[in-house]
């Protein structure tokens, strides 16, 4: 028995068929984005953002694995940075100590040196120490061989011997040198 439809029912049926076709096209487009090799994860992340309680098993697992890898990488990077920083601190401390010992700076002088390095943007202790030493020479203590311009001959052990007979002393030194040279030449040592 044939069914007869009213014009309203026909219009409603046509609207539903059109909507079904539109829904099919939307579903196909959404599936294309959802399964896209490059953009699929963005679509799933957006879905999780809008519907946080929804389950997407493969995406959820991938996110947990990626989160774990990121945490391990962050920990490894932090550990490597701490190691690099510690090694750099040790190198700087060693260079500081070496500079302090070689230039004979006090702790106060080293503090002033480091302030100078910051002010003048000098990155090397030795360069800054050379500059500071040239600008602020050490005051002589009077014991280091300089004594008011005199030679202090009396402090030399040989002074009295030389002063008694300078020509005799010179002759003895020359003969002694000649004998030593002759012995070396005869002994085969050259």
Write the DSSP string, the chain: ------HHHHHHHHHHHHHHHHHHHHHHHHHHHHT-TTTHHHHHHHHHHHSTT---HHHHHHHHHHHHHHHHHHHHHHHHHHHHHHHHHHHHHHHHHHHHHHHT--HHHHHHHHHHHHHHT---HHHHHHHHHHHSPPPP-S-SS--TT---GGGSTTHHHHHH-HHHHHHHHHHHHHHHHHHHHHTT--
The answer as to whether 189 is a domain residue is no
The answer as to whether 83 is a domain residue is yes
Per the prediction, the chain carries an average pLDDT of 84
The answer as to whether 117 is a domain residue is yes
pLDDT digits (tens, 9 = 90+) for 38-78: 888 888 888 888 888 888 888 888 888 999 999 999 999 99
SS3 sequence, 22-37? HHHHHHHHHHHHHCCC
User: How many domains does the chain divide into?
Assistant: 1
The answer as to whether 98 is a domain residue is yes
Percent of all residues in the chain with a pLDDT value above 90, rounded to a whole number? 25
Residue 190 has pLDDT above 60, yes or no: no
The answer as to whether 87 is a domain residue is yes
| Average pLDDT of the segment spanning 7-17 | 88
Boundaries of domain holding 105:
55-136
* pLDDT at res. 55: 86
């Amino acid at each position: 028995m044939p069914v007869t439809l009213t014009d309203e029912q026909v219009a409603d049926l046509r609207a539903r068929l059109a909507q079904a076709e539109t829904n099919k096209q939307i579903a196909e487009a959404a599936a294309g984005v959802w399964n896209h090799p490059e953009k699929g994860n963005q679509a799933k992340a957006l879905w999780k953002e809008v519907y946080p309680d929804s389950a997407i098993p493969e995406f959820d697992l991938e996110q947990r694995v990626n989160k774990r890898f990121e945490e391990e990488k962050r920990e490894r990077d932090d550990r490597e940075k701490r190691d690099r920083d510690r090694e750099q601190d040790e190198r700087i401390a060693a260079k500081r100590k070496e500079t302090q010992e070689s230039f004979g700076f006090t702790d106060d002088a080293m503090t002033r040196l480091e302030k100078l390095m910051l002010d003048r943007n000098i990155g090397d202790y030795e360069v800054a120490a050379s500059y500071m030493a040239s600008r602020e020479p050490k005051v002589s203590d009077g014991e280091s061989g300089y004594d008011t311009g005199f030679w202090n001959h009396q402090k030399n052990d040989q002074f009295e011997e030389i002063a008694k007979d300078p020509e005799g002393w010179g002759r003895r030194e020359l003969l002694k040198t000649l004998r030593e040279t002759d012995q070396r030449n005869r002994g085969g040592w050259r």
